[in-house]
């Protein structure tokens, strides 16, 4: 593993066009400005982010105007909107020798964006949502980032990407070199198998097993969903060792003797299948086609997911959790 820290990184005052002012866009723009970059915000007319950028002291301009003359163009709009915006507004206006920067490799890796020759194409992916990227920076700290180069036209692409990562505070924590393929494939796998897909299905399967056996749904909710946070917090803070420190011997014995029966060979085989679909591009093709055709299947699956009894049981119980108000305003994390 190659990791970069602040002392081995070049400084820059380059003109950066930040396209999009959402979770990542806002954090990158503010941190880069504070680091001495010349930041211009490119937004579509009438979008909700325009006011947000103005409140922060920027004067957003149309995307085409932001791109013209920029040394770095950071594409920080949703991944599904990037191909069209790139084709129509970004690509025709890129300066020769500009660097295109992404925070997730999906479109470049799967070819839904075709980058012109003569352009550096890099990835700087903070391993945290934008709000934390900004908050850490303000406190003099930073969030670890991944960095990668897909196209090195100037032979300076990596050092330019590192300068960008430095500007958003990443080198204060450490910046790990990766590739577009590794970042994209592991990101998709994580959200499908473990973070979003795997974790929610595990919760639902546990909840249904208890309620089918006649236990009260409220009690099942606490055991299978609510208390997951406690365990995840311990894992996040100190790995398996910290969790073992804080749970009872009974919990540990149950974990060690029963856990492998739940996540068994069949689950691992399914994980390998899911990974193979990601690597072959099958998942990307399916999602791009779903998006292009109006997302009917996606909307149906989402509605079914939200129709689960755990949702109404949970809503009623959470209404009694007075401490939830604050944490709801700003999610602690969000797989991209
Ligand atoms: P977001 O949804 O928070 O922000 C989207 C921005 O794009 C907004 O300013 C919105 O107004 C604008 N936008 C939306 N549709 C548009 C369109 N059709 N044309 C022009 N502008 C449009 O996005 P985000 O979550 O910050 O994601 C940006 C990139 O960062 C993505 O590549 C994502 O994968 C990556 N990423 C996100 C996170 C995260 O925690 N959210 C973490 C790492 C990487
Ligand atoms: Mg699910």
Whole-model pTM: value is 0.93
pLDDT bucket at 117, cuts 50 / 70 / 90? confident
Question: pLDDT value at position 144?
Answer: 97
Pocket perturbation via mutation, ligand 1, pick of 78, 107, 130 by most ligand atoms within 8 A of CB: 78
- 28 is known as an active-site residue: no
Count of CB atoms within 10 A of residue 138's CB? 11
pLDDT bucket at 334, cuts 50 / 70 / 90? low
Question: pLDDT value at position 12?
Answer: 84
pLDDT bucket at 328, cuts 50 / 70 / 90? low
- Ligand 1 close to Cβ of residue 129 (< 6 A): yes
Q: Are 147 and 4 in contact (CB under 8 A)?
A: yes
Mean pLDDT computed over every residue of the chain: 95
Question: pLDDT value at position 305?
Answer: 95
Question: pLDDT value at position 232?
Answer: 98
Question: pLDDT value at position 333?
Answer: 56
Tell me the pLDDT tens digit for each residue of 173-208: 999 999 999 999 999 999 999 999 999 999 999 999
- Find all residues with CB under 8 Å of 277, minimum gap 6, and list them: 283
- Ligand 1 close to Cβ of residue 3 (< 6 A): no
Residues 234-238, mean pLDDT to the nearest whole number? 97
Find the 218 Cα to ligand 1 centroid distance in Å: 36
pLDDT bucket at 6, cuts 50 / 70 / 90? confident
Ligand closest to 58 (CA) is 1
Q: Whose CA is nearest to atom 4 of ligand 1?
A: 22
Question: pLDDT value at position 46?
Answer: 87
Question: pLDDT value at position 327?
Answer: 60
- Find all residues with CB under 8 Å of 120, minimum gap 6, and list them: 97, 98, 99, 100, 149, 151, 152, 153, 154, 156, 157, 160, 161
Residue in this structure with the two tokens 């820059």, named with its chain if needed:
12
Distance CA 26, CA 58 (A): 10
Tell me the pLDDT tens digit for each residue of 264-282: 999 999 999 999 999 999 9
| DSSP tally for the chain: helices H, then strands E | 18, 9
Among 4, 5, 28, 104, which one carries the catalytic annotation?
Answer: 104
Count of CB atoms within 10 A of residue 251's CB? 13
pLDDT bucket at 11, cuts 50 / 70 / 90? confident
Whether the pLDDT of residue 331 is over 80: the answer is no
Whether the pLDDT of residue 155 is over 60: the answer is yes
Q: Whose CA is nearest to atom 13 of ligand 1?
A: 77
Residues 67-72, mean pLDDT to the nearest whole number? 98
Q: What is the layout of strands, in order, in the sheet containing 175-177?
A: 3-4, 175-177, 145-151, 120-126, 99-102, 72-75, 15-19, 38-43, 61-62
Pocket perturbation via mutation, ligand 1, pick of 56, 103, 127 by most ligand atoms within 8 A of CB: 103
Better pLDDT: 78 or 8 = 78
Find the 225 Cα to ligand 2 centroid distance in Å: 13
- Ligand 1 close to Cβ of residue 144 (< 6 A): no
């Amino acid at each position: 593993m190659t990791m970069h820290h602040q002392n081995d990184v070049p400084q820059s005052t380059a003109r950066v066009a930040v396209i999009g002012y959402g979770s990542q866009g806002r954090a990158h723009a503010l941190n880069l400005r504070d680091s001495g970059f010349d930041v211009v915000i490119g937004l579509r007319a009438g979008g909700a982010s325009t006011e947000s950028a103005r409140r922060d002291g920027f004067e957003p301009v149309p995307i085409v105007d932001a791109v013209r003359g920029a040394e770095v163009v950071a594409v920080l709009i949703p991944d599904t909107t990037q191909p069209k915006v790139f084709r129509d507004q970004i690509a025709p206006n890129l300066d020769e020798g500009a660097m295109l920067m992404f925070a997730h490799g999906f479109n470049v890796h799967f070819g839904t964006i075709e980058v012109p020759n003569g352009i550096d194409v890099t990835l700087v992916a903070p391993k945290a949502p934008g709000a934390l990227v900004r908050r850490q920076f303000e406190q003099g700290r930073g969030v670890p980032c991944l960095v990668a180069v897909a196209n090195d036209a100037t032979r300076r692409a990596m050092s330019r990407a590192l300068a960008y990562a430095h500007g958003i505070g990443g080198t204060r924590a450490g910046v790990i070199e990766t590739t577009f393929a590794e970042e994209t494939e592991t990101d998709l796998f994580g959200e499908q198998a473990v973070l979003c897909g795997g974790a929610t299905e595990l919760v639902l399967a546990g909840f249904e097993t208890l309620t089918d056996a006649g236990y009260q749904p409220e009690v099942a909710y606490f055991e299978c969903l609510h208390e997951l946070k406690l365990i995840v917090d311990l894992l996040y803070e100190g790995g398996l060792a910290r969790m073992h420190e804080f749970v009872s011997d009974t919990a540990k014995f149950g974990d060690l003797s029963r856990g492998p029966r739940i996540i068994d060979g069949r689950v691992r085989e399914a994980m390998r299948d899911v990974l193979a679909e990601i690597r072959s591009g099958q998942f990307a093709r399916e999602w791009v086609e779903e998006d292009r055709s109006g997302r009917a299947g996606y909307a149906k699956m989402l509605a079914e997911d939200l129709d689960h009894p755990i949702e109404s049981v949970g809503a009623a119980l959470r209404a009694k959790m007075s401490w939830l108000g604050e944490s709801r305003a700003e999610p602690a994390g969000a797989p991209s």
